Amino acid sequence: MSLGIGERAPRLELLDTSGRSHVAPSGDPATVVVFTCNHCPYALAWHGRLAAVARDYAPRGVRMLAVNSNDAERYPADSPAAMVERVAREPGSWPMPYLHDASQEVARAFGARTTPDVFVLDADGRLAYRGAPDDDFDDPARDAAWLRAALDSVLAGEPVARPRTESVGCSIKWRP
Amino acid sequence: MVSMTLVELLYWRGCPSYPAALAELRAAMAEVGVDPGSLEQIEVHDEREAAQQRFPGSPTIRVDGRDVVDAGDAEPALNCRIYRRRDDRISPLPDPDDLRDALRRAVASRAGDRAV
């Protein structure tokens, strides 16, 4: 089961790569929860665009959380240590915290399927957009346009014109 | 039309890049003049097959047994494979120019063999 548009998102509380706890939803004007990881080329191709959204919308009260839910045993590139190493290796590329969902409960509660898989929550914590950042992982000029349009609508208190798009990427690697 | 060049597309259905990889590969083969009948599609189903095929991720494209992009020491895995385009972008697909260059090398090599 996936979280439906208009439904209240489950509460998440996860630790980032420096051990700090993050809770959502927590009353921000909008929250972006993006399921991502280290080893997927789709997630990597879109990462810069997502980071730009985090930077551009932070002054407007938008909070972005990047969540890695992959099975780190079978995919060691997604282990907590590898997450820490990546954030240290890419200074300036992480305006959002990188959270580890070791139990995979958050991914299951949201119904996330791919990396990346983008969920936008409004100020009430209700799902306003779910899908891909934009329509082409291979074209940085697309600039996460779907995500930006969704955030603009949520911040304006308007319904999102296209609240659901197809999530494109690697499957989340579930534990056996 | 040059025949006999063996082109292998190895893929794993868990990665959505396969149809785009197939389309790009077919386009490159047509451009270089490689017989479309020389394309063999090989599905990798599990980790055992990934190890047997030395499959570093999906898609993997080999021309006459040589990977079109050197996978280095990547371990066999059921992954989407990470490629770097010539403009340095990360992509789930190899750069089309890398495909064409690999095909041209194979064609030139066969032409050289025939000339000997």
Q: Mean of the pLDDT values across residues B63-69?
A: 95
Q: How far are the Cα atoms of A12, A153, B6, B8 from residue B100, in angstroms, in the given order?
A: 47, 44, 14, 14
Is there a domain that residue B98 lies in?
A: yes
Q: Which of B14, B16, B83 sits opposite A168 (nearest CB)?
A: B16
**CATH label of the domain that carries residue B51:** 3.40.30
The range of the structural domain enclosing residue B21 comes to 7-110
Alpha carbon distance A97, A24 (integer Å): 12
Tell me the pLDDT of chain A averaged across its residues.
Answer: 97
**Torsion sign, CA atoms A34, A49, A131, B57:** negative
Burial of A169 (0-12, 13-18, 19+ CB in 10 A): buried
Is there a domain that residue B30 lies in?
A: yes
**Is the predicted pLDDT of residue B3 greater than 60, yes or no?**
no
Spell out where chain B has E strands.
7-11, 39-43, 60-63, 66-67, 83-84, 90-91
Q: What is the pLDDT of residues B9-23, one digit of tens each?
A: 999 999 999 999 999
ipTM value: 0.86
Q: In what order do the strands lie in the sheet with A62-68?
A: A21-24, A12-16, A98-100, A62-68, A30-35, A117-122, A127-131
Q: Mean of the pLDDT values across residues A131-137?
A: 97
Is there a domain that residue B73 lies in?
A: yes
- Domains of chain A, start order: 12-171 (3.40.30.10)
Is there a domain that residue B2 lies in?
A: no
- Comparing CA positions, the residue from A171, A165, A172, A96 lying closest to residue A129 is A165
What pLDDT shows up at residue B73?
85
Is there a domain that residue B34 lies in?
A: yes
User: Out of A16-30, A57-71, A152-166, B71-85, which region has the weakest mean confidence (pLDDT)?
Assistant: B71-85
Burial of A146 (0-12, 13-18, 19+ CB in 10 A): buried
Alpha carbon distance B12, A140 (integer Å): 26
Q: How confident is the model at residue A168 (pLDDT cuts 50, 70, 90)?
A: very high
Phi, psi of B80, deg, nearest 5: -80, 135
Alpha carbon distance A132, A146 (integer Å): 7
**Is the predicted pLDDT of residue A2 greater than 90, yes or no?**
no
- Comparing CA positions, the residue from A160, A158, A150, A128 lying closest to residue A50 is A150
Q: What is the pLDDT of residues A40-49, one digit of tens each?
A: 999 999 999 9
pTM of the model: 0.93
Alpha carbon distance A139, B72 (integer Å): 26
- Comparing CA positions, the residue from B73, B65, B68, B60 lying closest to residue B11 is B60
Q: How confident is the model at residue B109 (pLDDT cuts 50, 70, 90)?
A: confident
What pLDDT shows up at residue B1?
53
Provide the number of structural domains found in chain B: 1
B-contacting residues in A 135-154 (Cβ below 8 Å): 137-138, 140
Q: In Å, how far is A74's CA from the nearest CA of chain B?
A: 9
Residue A40 touches chain B, beta carbons under 8 Å: yes
**A138/B82 Cβ within 8 A:** no
Is there a domain that residue B46 lies in?
A: yes
- Which residues contact residue A103 at a Cβ distance below 8 angstroms, ignoring those fewer than 6 apart? none
**A168/B91 Cβ within 8 A:** no
Q: B47 to chain A: nearest residue by CA?
A: A74
b/e sequence B3-16, b meaning 16+ C-beta within 10 Å: eebebbbbbbeebb
DSSP classification of residue A14: E
A-contacting residues in B 76-95 (Cβ below 8 Å): 77, 79-83, 89-93
